[in-house]
Structure 1
Amino acid sequence: MSSEGLHRVAVLVRPGLLPMELGIVHRLFTTAAGPAGERLYSVTTCTPVPGEVTTDTDFTVNVAHGPEVLADADTVIVPAASEDYVPQERGRLAGPVREALARVPAGARLASICTGSFVLAAAGLLAGRRATTHWKSCDELRALYPEIDVDPGVLYTEDRGVLTSAGVAAGIDLCLHMIRSDHGADVANTVARGTVVPPHREGGQAQYIEQPVREPHDTSTAAARTYALRHLGDPVTLSDLAREASASVRTLSRKFRQETGMTPAQWLAHQRLQQARRLLERTDEPVDRIAALVGFGTGTAMRQHFRDVLGVSPRAYRNTFRGVG
C-alpha cells in the first residue's frame, strides 16, 4: 500500500501496446471509490525503457516510469502488444521484460490481459497454473508451454495470485473481478455502472468463438453428413446415416471419427448447436421452435446443451448477439 493507503497498481507496457488495454486498467481502478468517495487505487504505467512507446495505432504513448516502480507494486498488470501476434517477433523484448518482472515483490498480485499471458508464461509465472488468453491463441500457448493448464472457454482465471484474461474486452471483466475481490460487489458494481459495462458477464469466451467444423470432402461419410444436414430437425439415427453411407453402423462410426474427429452423435450435436446459434442471431423464432427446427426436440434440451457447451442460456446468447455481424 502507498503512504496514502492506496493499493498500488503498476501496468507494464511494451512497444506495440494495445491502447485500449492500458485505458481499461486506468479507467476502472482509478474510478473505484470507498464509502466517503475516497480513492482506493493508484495506477502507474511503466516500461522496461522509459520514453516514447509505440502502439498498434498511429499514435505513441509517453511513459515516464521505468521498471523500478514494480518493486513497490501491490498488483502488476501486463497488457498485450502487437509482437504477441507474430511468432517470429514474440520474445523480442523477453530479456528486459523478464528482468522487469523480477523486481515484483513476493506476494504481489500478477495479471495479464489478452496475449499478455505469453509474457507471464515466458517468465515461468504460469507453470503449473490454470490460465487463459485470447481464444485464437490458446492452442499456441498450450503448445509452447505444456506445463500450463490452458482453459480456452473462460473470460478470466485466477490461480494462487496470478490472473489471466481472454481477449481485449475480457480485461474489463478481469479488472472488475479484482476490484470485487478487494472491496466487494458494491464498489465493483459502481465502477461498472460508471463505465456503462455489465458488472459480470454470463458465460465464457466460448460463446464468442465461431465454431464451424472443417468438413472433409469426397469421403466415405459425405453422403451421410449431407443427409443429416438436410434432416437436422428430424430424429436422425445411426442406422439412417449408415444406410446413406452404404456401410454398417460400426464402420460408419469408425470412419466418422477418422474423417471428422468426432463420433456421429457429437458431430450431429455440434451441427444442431451451430444452426441454433444462427437462428437465434438472425430470426425472432422462439427458443422452443428453434429447438424443434434444429433437432434438439425441446427447449429444455437445447437450453441444457447451450449451458454445457457455451456457458449461457439461448436467451442470453440471443441478447448478446442479436443483430451482430
Structure 2
Amino acid sequence: MNTAIPRRDEVWCVTPGASGGWSPVTALAHLAARLLEADLQEIHPTRPYGRVRKAASLAPRRRGAGPALLLIASQPGDLLRLADARVLLGGFRRVEAWIIDSFWDDLLPRFARERRTIDRLWITDAELVGDYSRRMRVPVSWAPWGTDALARWEEAAAGAELSSVRNIDVHRLGRQPAAWNDDATNEALFARHGLTYAGRFPGHPTDGLANQRAVITELSRSRVVLASSNLASPSEYTHPEREYLTARFTDSMACGAIVAGAIPRCRAALLLPAEGLVDIDVSSREAGVDEILTAARSWTPEIAGRLRRAALERLDWRWRIAEIAESLELRPATLDAEMVRLRAAMEAPGAEPDEMTS
C-alpha cells in the first residue's frame, strides 16, 4: 500500500527583497499561497543568474503527475528560477508564472522564448500581452495589479481602529514629482490652508508584511494620498517610457482614500474608479494645489465607501487568483469560501460603518 502523503501545491515568490518597495508583492504571495492552500517559498537572489542556470534552463521539462507550481516573478529574468531540478525532472504537474514588472520585457530569458517550461504566463501589463504571446510558445493572459480589498472592507465593517480615524487630510506616499518632494514645504503649504499633512514614514525596512500593514494603516487615516505615475516621478528603478499601475493607487482605493497626482496612462489604471482620482498638473505646487484642497475638503465617508466597493468589484486580488487557480486546475476550499465573502461584500449596503473624521 502506498501511504505517501500527497505533496501540496507550491507558490514561489522571487523578489530582490521582502520589504521596502517589494512588500506589496510579498503580501500578494502570502495571500496567494493561503488562498491556493499551497506552500510558499520566498526567494531573494543575491547575485545575477549565472551561466550554469541559464544553460540548464534550455533543457526540456518533463511533465509529472504531482502538484502545481505558481511562480510570482518580480521581473521576466526571474523566470530563470524555473531552471530547477524539481521543475525540469517532472516534479510538477503544471507550472505557471506571474510576472509583476512585466514592462521590462527586454529581460525575457532565452529559454522562455524557446522552451515550453511554462504552461501559462500571466503579466500585469495588458499592452504587452500580444508582445509576450508572439515571443513565447505558451498562452499569455492579463492579471493586473490589485489589492486586498476584501480585507480592507471587512476591517471597516468591523470598526477596526485602523479604518475608523481619518485625521490626515493629505498624505505623501512614496516617490514624488520634484515639485512635491519636500515634506517640510508641503506641510507648511497645507497648514496655511488649515489642513494636516503627513510626509514620509519609516515603515519596516526588513519585514515585508509589517511594512505593508504600516502602509495600510497610514492610507486608512488619509483623505487624499499624493501619488504619481513613474513618468512623473521617475527613479533609477522605474521604466523610463512605459507607464504602469502600482500598489499606491490600488491600496488607496481599497482604503477609501482619494489619489491626487499624475495618473498613469495604461489600461490597468482604467480599473480605478474615476471618483477616487484627481489628475493634476505636477509641474509646480501652484498648478495643482487647489484641486488637492478641494478633494480633501470634499471627502466624505460615502465617497470612501464607494471607492471601497469599486475596489471589491475591480481590484481585489481574489479575482486574479481565481482565474489562475482555474488555469492550474485547482479548486481550493479556502479560495471558494473567500469568493463567497467577496461577492457578499459587494452586495452589502452602506459605506464605512462608524467612520470618524478626527
TM-score by length of structure 2 reads: 0.30
Looking at both structures, which has the greater relative contact order when contacts are Cα pairs under 8 Å and sequence separation is at least 6? 2
Which is higher, the Rg of structure 1 or of structure 2? 1
